[in-house]
A and B are shown apart, each in its own frame.
Chain A
Amino acid sequence: MYNQYQRGSRMSEPPEIITNKDLLYLQDALSWELLASKKAHHFASESQDPQIKQQLEHLAEVHQRHYQMLLRHLQPQTQQQNINQYNQYSQYRN
């Protein structure tokens, strides 16, 4: 992913650094997924129909999976490493 940091060259795409906006959206999306998963699970427990129960439990799982996909982006150490690398690159460039 650090191909974009080539000596004397411009970045071809934004570095893998979470921006303030990214973090706000990730926070939002994580809470949507958590709520959706909990709600689906709750509804599943309320229904008597096995087919509907199954459909709702499936949704609870899908939203939990999405939650985990998003959570993987929040790695403080990776964030720090990528910031350091970017700083080195930008000093070198100037």
Chain B
Amino acid sequence: MFNQNQRGYGNQNYQSGYQQSNFQQQSYQSQNLQQQANPMKIKNPQTNQLPTVKGPEMNDRDRLNDMLATEKYLTDNYNVFAREASYNDLHKDVCQILNQTHQEARGLFNFMFNKGWYSLQAESTQQVAQVQQQFTNYQTQFAQNQQVTNSQSGNQNYHNQMY
């Protein structure tokens, strides 16, 4: 279901690209060049909470970053602890702590993203299409080949529409 949603989303992008030009290949190339020159940033505007001239003292962003680093460190180490724990109750508790620590790290990341302290960069549609094609083709390597050929033919239809 998740995959279908993703595909649906990709499809819309492709079709809008397709309609813009009669020369589809060229359209992809120019689109790609555009994106390389001006990569699409995903970020919130920064709230003006931080001092404009930053001194050596810790500010709010530093404090949150430090806590995020702490949560990251904890998830790494709890993962090892969970794997090495001897009796089941200990393993279960450590897994629960690991999971909750992941949630806290995620919460902090979202919080900082909301503040505009994280910027992400969108990958170009062409790059995504290339990798999707590559790993769709690799599916022939699985032992269960019947299913693979089915989904592959489905994907090929999808690509025929696009290119």
Task: Using CB atoms and an 8 Å cutoff, list the residues of chain A in contact with chain B.
Answer: 1, 13-19, 21-22, 25, 28-29, 32, 36, 39-40, 43, 46-49, 52, 55-56, 59, 62, 66, 69-70, 73
Contacts and interface: CB of A to CB of B under 8 A. Distances in A.
B77 A32 contact: yes
Given A43-B63, A56-B63, A15 B93 contact: no
A55 B86 contact: no
Chain A's interface: helix, strand, loop or mixed, by majority?
helix
The size bracket of the interface on B is: 20 to 34
B84 A21 contact: yes
Given A21-B84, A43-B63, 17 more contacts: A13-B88, A14-B88, A16-B89, A19-B86, A21-B86, A22-B87, A25-B84, A29-B77, A29-B81, A36-B70, A39-B67, A55-B108, A59-B71, A62-B100, A69-B96, A69-B97, A73-B93
Chain B's interface: helix, strand, loop or mixed, by majority?
helix
Interface of B: 49, 58, 60, 63-64, 66-67, 70-71, 73-74, 77-78, 81, 84-90, 93-94, 96-97, 100-101, 104, 107-108, 111
